[in-house]
Homo-oligomer: A and B are copies of this chain.
Amino acid sequence: MMKIALVAAAVAAGLPIVVTTAFAGVNAPALPADFRSWTVVRSQVVSDPDHAMYGFHQVYANKPALRALRSRTRSATFSDGAAFVVSIYEPVQSAGTTTPGAKRRDVVRVKDRRAVATGGWRFAAYDPAGKPIAIDAAACYACHAGAKDTDTVFSRFID
């Protein structure tokens, strides 16, 4: 809020504004550098090319997220910092198999109780080069809000 107030004051004063990465991304979690070594919770294939989440999904959970998932309580709540990354690949069909082809993007969600407008989660997406993709976190939340019993998380840990 203070930063927004400062920017507003700068605009009012006609000052040049440098929007830093830190400011622009205040609500967008970074792509965790090590997620590829996190535990894969599940995978799924969304086959409809018109679906917002079209693609072959690989869902990774960090340790705090995994702990909550594995507690197996229906009312699992996640501690701040619990995070998921969904790597989404082009589904490639060949000879009766579907495999993940080229990466489409990585989607991140991180628990942060301060993000009240989006259910206590921050969302972000990155292209295969690691560059942020503009997303509507409210739309992410609107869909996930249906999973109220699991803190709006769809994924379950599959043994």
Q: Specify which of B40, B45, B58 is in contact with A97 (CB 8 Å cutoff).
A: B45
- How many copies of this chain sit in the oligomeric assembly? 2
- Complex CA gap A111/B85 in Å reads 31
| Contact B36–A37 (Cβ < 8 Å) | no
- Across the interface, name the chain B residue whose C-beta is closest to A89: B158
Q: What are 18 residue pairs bridging A and B, where the CB atoms are less than 8 Å apart in the complex?
A: A36-B39, A37-B39, A40-B40, A40-B58, A42-B100, A43-B43, A43-B56, A43-B99, A43-B100, A44-B97, A44-B100, A45-B45, A46-B97, A47-B96, A47-B98, A48-B96, A51-B96, A100-B158
- Complex CA gap A39/B56 in Å reads 17
Interface size counted on chain A using CB atoms at 8 A: 23
In the complex, whether A103 has a CB less than 8 A from a CB of chain B is yes
CB distance from A132 to the nearest CB of B (A): 18
- Across the interface, name the chain B residue whose C-beta is closest to A44: B99
